[in-house]
């Protein structure tokens, strides 16, 4: 009998297949994130931490709370827990090379103000990489490009990290030493192995929460560059096309659009023409 009671207790603390399907359908419908059955163990592990924080004992009770009016704030915490946020400084470096060698020299001939949007900015490495590129380009120019960079993400927690701009020193070890010394500050406490992006760079960027599944995006409509990299892989093809079209409505005709190297617009009805692999121009 004691075994049966223990087993029942244990099963209540597991995410059932039925609850996972309910959760997966909700997340996909509202946030576009695909959660196939192989993700069940990952989701269960991440949400068990939320059960501990909230003091809720079972997944049944937790999901009932999350989907209630009283659980709105916890719903955002749940999305933060499930969302995958992986990024690096100058990830997929060919994009930044293209900006420095082709895009910015061309732009500087005809304009002096540039708006850039990183539509899946995660913890900020991409957006600060963009700012470094802009600063490095401007340092060699008589006529500087006045730029503004917006970073958006679905996760509030990850956006807080981006705003704070504090990173483990390990995260910048592959950057050239001159860039490390120029754009990052070491902690005054040498026992704390962290760096922070310099204030001058942080002042050039701002962040806000945007859900790419929304019908429209509460951002400006005149971006010269949009980075939307390594997030569409979590959406189905129809959602990918919808998201790209909504993003393109915020991109100037002639503006540049960057996807991740595992993403493409093949088979999608979108107003983009390819310049190089994963680099496009708005038509």
Tell me how far apart the alpha carbons of residues 76 and 82 are, in angstroms, rounded to a whole number. Answer: 10
Active site residue 153: yes
Q: Which position among 14, 46, 186, 202 bears the catalytic label?
A: 46
Phi, psi of 141, deg, nearest 5: -115, 145
Output the 3-class SS for 209-256: ECCCCCCCCCCCCCEEEEEECCCHHHCCHHHHHHHHHHHHCCEEEEEE
Find where tokens 């390819």 sit. Answer: 274
Instruction: Assign 155 to helix, strand or coil.
Output: coil
Helix, strand, coil shares of the chain as percentages rounded to 5? 45, 20, 35
Q: Which position among 50, 153, 224, 282 bears the catalytic label?
A: 153
The residues that are catalytic are 46, 153
């Amino acid at each position: 009998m004691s075994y049966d009671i223990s087993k029942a207790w244990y099963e209540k603390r597991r995410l059932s297949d039925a609850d996972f399907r309910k959760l997966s359908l909700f997340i996909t419908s509202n946030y576009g994130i695909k959660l196939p059955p192989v993700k069940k163990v990952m989701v269960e592990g991440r949400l068990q931490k939320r059960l501990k924080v909230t003091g809720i004992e079972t997944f049944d009770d937790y999901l009932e709370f999350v989907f209630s009016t009283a659980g709105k704030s916890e719903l955002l915490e749940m999305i933060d827990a499930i969302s995958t946020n992986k990024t690096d400084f100058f990830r997929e470096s060919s994009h930044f090379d293209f900006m420095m060698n082709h895009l910015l020299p061309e732009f500087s001939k005809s304009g002096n103000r540039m708006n850039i949007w990183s539509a899946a900015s995660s913890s900020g490495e991409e957006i600060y990489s963009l700012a470094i590129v802009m600063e490095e380009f401007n340092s060699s120019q008589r006529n500087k490009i006045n730029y503004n960079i917006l970073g958006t993400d679905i996760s509030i927690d990850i956006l807080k990290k981006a705003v704070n701009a504090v990173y483990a020193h390990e995260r910048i070890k592959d950057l050239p030493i001159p860039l490390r010394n120029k754009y990052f500050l070491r902690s005054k406490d040498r026992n704390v192995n962290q760096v922070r992006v310099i204030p001058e760079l942080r002042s050039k960027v701002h962040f806000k929460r945007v859900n790419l599944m929304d019908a429209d995006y509460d951002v400006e409509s005149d971006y010269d560059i949009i980075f939307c990299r390594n997030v569409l892989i979590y959406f189905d093809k129809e959602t990918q096309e919808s998201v790209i079209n909504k993003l393109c409505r915020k991109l100037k005709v002639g503006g540049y659009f960057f996807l991740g190297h595992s993403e493409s617009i093949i088979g999608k009805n979108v107003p983009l023409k390819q310049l190089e692999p994963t680099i496009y121009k708005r038509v």
